[in-house]
Amino acid sequence: MDIMDRQALGKQFTRTYGGDRDGWKRVTEYRQVQKYTAEHPNQGSAAVSSAVNLPRGRIRPWIENDGCPDPVRGLQTCEDHGWLDLDWLELPFTGLNSLVAWIFSGGSIDREGFVPQFTIQSAADYDRLDAAFDAIGIGMEVLRETDPKRATEAKPSTAASALGRLLHVLGAPVGAKNPMSDVSLPTYLDEAPYPDRLTFARIYLANRKTTRPDRPNTPVQFREERSPAYRRELIAFLTDVVGSEGAIRGG
């Protein structure tokens, strides 16, 4: 999928919603009803149902109670924030790219509600994450941990589910990340210009690295408990960004 294709991105976003029908189909049905009722404002739900050939029970809340399907509401949230109008090197994509990298390296997306959470381990982490949220036009809520052994986490202060779904469509994994997970880096990185690829790499390493001044040949070290295929993919990506075959080592 071309993530710069607004309609394709929107369609994939709506299909993250469960239900008995395809998410995009639910959007088109709702729009069909909205168009018809705008042209025929005096018709009730029974007449509209017959006219558009959709079950009355499905469309009645849209007409009489100002309701709408969840995919419609989520899509509208994305549109309101400009998250579907993406361009390389430009806002809001630069912020979304950083957040996708963060999910891979120091965060997660909940399987049920698609709410993303991001680990903060330092003041520098806070500043980087805050900048990413600022770039997409929303704030973040810091979740204070009472256990000093656990890292601080943050989540979106608003539009959390819509953001998590969009990050997933862009390539961020949902649920656990472990050696058994079928996880791959976002395909958009193959087409992204170098500055966007570099941002992804920097965020990834900032979250995963351990500085080793005692090892001048490998001053930064990180470990991934992921599948061998994913580790090879990650090494290839980082090597390409760094531009040196010997700069990245691993297996």
Q: What is the DSSP string of the chain?
A: --TT-HHHHHHHHHTTS-SSS-HHHHHHHHHHHHHHHHH-TT--HHHHHHHHT--HHHHHHHHHS----HHHHHHHHHHHHTTTS--TTSTTHHHHHHHHHHHHHHEEE-TTT--EEEEE-SHHHHHHHHHHHHHHT--EEEE--S-TTSPEEEEESS-HHHHHHHHHHHT---S--STTS-----GGGGTS-HHHHHHHHHHHHHHH-EE-TT-TTS-EE----S-HHHHHHHHHHHHHHHT-TTT----
* pLDDT score at 242: 84
- Per the domain annotation, does 66 fall within a domain? yes
Say which residue, 37 or 182, is predicted with more confidence: 37
In a domain, 1, yes or no: no
In a domain, 143, yes or no: yes
Q: Is residue 87 part of a domain?
A: no
Give a yes or no: residue 98 inside a domain. yes
Domain annotation covers residue 251? no
User: Looking at residue 244, what is its pLDDT?
Assistant: 61
Residue 86 placed within a domain: no
Of the two residues 179 and 161, the one the predictor is more confident about is 161
**pTM higher than 0.85:** yes
Instruction: State the residue range of the domain holding 77.
Output: 6-81
- 97-156 residue pLDDT tens: 999 999 999 999 999 999 999 999 899 999 999 999 999 999 999 987 666 777 899 999
Number of domains in the chain: 2
Assess whether 135 and 235 both reside in one domain. Answer: yes
- At 73-92, the pLDDT tens digits run 999 999 999 999 999 999 99
